[in-house]
Structure formats: C-alpha cells, structure tokens
Structure 1
Amino acid sequence: MIDFGDVALLRPLWLLVLPGLALLLVATRRRDALGDWRRAVDPSLLAVILHRHAIVGAPRRDGPLLASVALIAVALCGPAMKTPGAEQFRNLDATLILLDVSRGERLPQAVAAAQFLLERSGARQLGLVLYAGDAYLASPLTDDANSLESLLYAIDDTTVPDGGIRPDRALAFARRLLREARIVAADVALISDGEGLDPRAERLAASLAGEGRRLHTLFVSARIGADALDPGRRAAMTSLAAAGRGRAGDAAHPQEIAEDIAARGIAHVERGELRALEWRDYGRFLLLLAAAPLLLVLRGRDD
C-alpha cells in the first residue's frame, strides 16, 4: 500500500500495467488507419468509397479502448480514501479470571461466580485461565463475553490433566499473559478454596499489584457448614488479596467485587493495527466509469 495522507493506493503494483498500455498506444498509432483494407480492396474502388462518404481515413477505435483498460488498471490499484472515524482502538484494561478446577464438587459455585464477573465487566478485554497442578489458558483476551460464558459450562475436574493445586503457577501465568498483551490496568480474580496458597503466591500477587493490576479473591466452599468456616483458608485468601491490593470476597456473593471491577471501567486505550479498516476502496466505481469508453467503441457510425 502507498498512502499520501488521506489518499492511498491499496494495490499499487497494478500501475505497472500503464507503461505497457502507453507502448501499445504508440505502436498502434504508427499504423495506417485503414489497416489491411488497402490490400483487400481495389485502390480505385477504395478511392471512390472514401470520396463518396467523405472519409479521409477509417476512424480509430484504439483510444477509447485503451482509456477503458487504463481505468480498469487504476481501479485494480485500489484507490482509497481514509474513512473519518474508522480508526480502531484496543482496550488496555482487562479482567482475567483464574479458576481452580481441581475439585469437581466446588466447580458449580466457582463457575457461577466467574460468569457473574464476566457479565459485569463491560467492554473490557476478558480472559480465562484454568489451573490445578499447572495453569493453562482457556481463552485468550477477548471482548466477546458470550464465548467465555459458553466455555465455562464445558469445564469439569478433568479439564486440567495435571494433579495437585498450584495457584502460584496460575498467578505467574497471569502476570506473563498481561505483560505480553501490553495490558496497562487489570483486575485479576482468583476463584478457589484457598488450598495451595504459600508465600510464593503472595509475592506474585504483590508483583502484579506493582505492575498496575489488582488481585481479588473469591473463596469457594463445598457446602455450607463444611469448609466455609475454615479460618485458615479464608485468612490465606484474604491475605493474598491484600498483597494484590484487591478485595477478598465469597464466591457465593461476588456482587461487591463485580461492582468494584465495573466501577473502574475502561481508562486506557490505544490505536489498533488494523489499517485496512481505515480505508474505503473506490476502485469499484472506477470500473463503472471504464464502461463509458467501451460504449464509444461499440457505437455505430452515422452515414
């Protein structure tokens, strides 16, 4: 593509056709206008015909034809103009969910909390990381919340093949993912029962906070009265959220954290890289104009 401010040629290589057309025009203009008719018709008869019809020479039809071909070549070059307001922008704010899938009995509550957060994240970029003994990206960052919601209900405790519970790996994965995507501000929500948390996880949470992210935790219990009152795991989840400068909550009641994320909204955007969407190709209209010279070629001559 070659651009000249607000005007551009999307496929400029088609311009190479024009020099060939110029050479063809020069070559054809050197020929006698009557061409082979002088050899096919008796000279005396041809002179009478030319005199009777007041014809000095046969009219040339090459000019309109070459003009039409030239217009077609220019049309194929893709003459385009920048469309006002067509600039594409990318959100640099994201909501990333880290979902513990190590225990099947906790998944329904965890999935419901994740869906609640997704529904209330607005136009932010959204991502989903699943973890057990290791962490995996279930969905890259996207602005399509519906695709993530449909994915959530296909998850079970066999989705991640690695046994164990390693939230630290999920946090490290989230940190790397947000860096590579050049996200400026993000809310990371860890949905878990608190098992497997250790000092390394807290250090990673602090690192996330230092990079402009906030880590929230949502505690998941198997059932009321079981580990819902486990002070050790709840305290670990609360401590992790504090290290990540986020909120600690319960997966059964994710409203406060969802409202907190929604309140931050979108504060950072950048111009996207989809330059082709900025230009409107007018080549198709030139193709219509190319038909006009052809009409001159096909038009019959009046006697």
Structure 2
Amino acid sequence: MKCMVINLDRSPDRLAHVTAEFAKIGVSFERVRAVDALHRLGLAETSPSLTPTEAACLMSHKVCWKIIADGDDAFGAIFEDDILLSDAAGPMLSDCGWVPADADIIKLETYLRKTVIGMRRNFVDRAFSVARLYSFHIGTAGYILSKQAARDLIVRDLDAPADHVVFDPSLPTSSSKTIYQILPALCVQSDIVLEKSVAFTSLLGEERLVKSVANSSPKRKPTEKLAVETRRIGRQIFNICRLRHQKTISFGVMSTKRKRRLLDSLHKSTCRPSAEGSYPQP
C-alpha cells in the first residue's frame, strides 16, 4: 500500500519532520509536491464557497486520489506533513491485509473530539481495532482510500472542504461510502496534542476560525436551546437503537523517550509555513 505525503517546496522543516516520523516506524512514503496557494490569486474564484486554503487543500487531496485511482494497489494512504505517528503504526501501513473487505475509506486520524462510531469493533491487530464511522470527524491528515472510492471521487464536481467531502455523511460523496475509524488513531496533527509554541500551525484551522466567527449565529433564545437539547437527546436514543455511540477517538502509543526527542527537534524549528495552503502540481 502506497503512502503519500503532501508537502510544500518551501516547507523543508515539515518534510524533515514527517520523514523522521515515517523512518521511526520503518515505512517509506511518496512525497507529493505542492504549490503554494498564496501564489495562485485566482484560486478562490474556482470554488466560491471555499476559502483559498480550503480550495487548495481539496485540490491537493484530489491529486492524491487520482494517483490511487490510476495505481495498481487496492488501497492508498494519504497524509499531511504535520502529523505525529503512533509507534505501532508501522505494520498497519506496511500491509493492507487487515483492511475490512467492504471498506471504502478508513480514517487513521483523530481530532480528539467526539464522533459517532458503531458499538461493534473488529480487532485487526493486537493493538488496533476498527469500527464503522457514522458522523463527521474533522480532518484529512491521515486516511486510507480504496481504488474504487478514489475513482468515484475524482469524477465528481466538488465544492466542499476535503474533510467534508470524505467524512461528512450529509454529503453524497461520504454517505455513499463504507467508512471505518481505526481505534486508537494511528496519527494526529501536531497542533492538536503539542503546545502551540512547538507545533506546526494550521492555516486551514485559522481560516476556519475566522469563517466560523463571521458566520456565527446570534445568541439562542431559551425555546431554541430547548429545541437543540431535545434534538440532541433524540439523536442519542437513535444511535443507541442503531448500536452506535459517541466516543472521543484516542491517539495511539508514543513512548516518553520519543516524545522528548520530538519536542527537542520541534523547538529547534523556527520556520513553520502551512502545507494546507497548497496543492500538488497535477
């Protein structure tokens, strides 16, 4: 199974970081060359509903999807260059024999937020299991995509952020797929678990924060709050009846010694441009 990492030419520090991450688990990857979205002034016009960074990120992943669709392997793995990998990720990325036969997509990442998964878990390794993913789980920093799913995605007219396209069940691109979540997660973005002073910053996250503030709704009235709470309880009952539950997906194992080395190396890094504001050259 081919592993791909999207990386900007102007981000050698990120490339060095992700190269070290993969080296520690004994897995090779293919670097997908990226082009800086800041140099593509007309990018926003191609997708009016997306920010320039969201449009660039979507195009990045779409190029990776095409590589999988045109390749010989049944599955391919796509990563962004600011991830931290579990110490136990090596065997899971070296071979795809553990992937469920009906899987279209497997989310390898966690955003450490609650999401809805199936109560039934299938153990695929001594340390890992998979469960069906039934709700939106933000992020596309690490996931496995089947050849057939990739072929389907590249022919669609897309106008949503990459993680919504892949993992938002309200969209047909996701609702039509059989999606699994690996537990615990094989990877996590560095800014989710590390101090902001040493983590790689996410331009996409910053843009989304600005966008959410601009689109935020006024304070809800008491009756509206009651309606929201009623719907929340209704969803919980629905999920239980369908053998689903809410769960925060934990991140996999990382030794204390490795954490210390990682923090030391990131402290030495001073240049941290975002790879999400880019997309690979077709």
Indicate whether the TM-score tops 0.5. no
The structure that has the greater radius of gyration is: 1
Structure with more relative contact order (C-alpha pairs < 8 Å, separation 6 or more): 2
Structure with the bigger percentage of helix: 1
TM-score, length-scaled by structure 2:
0.29
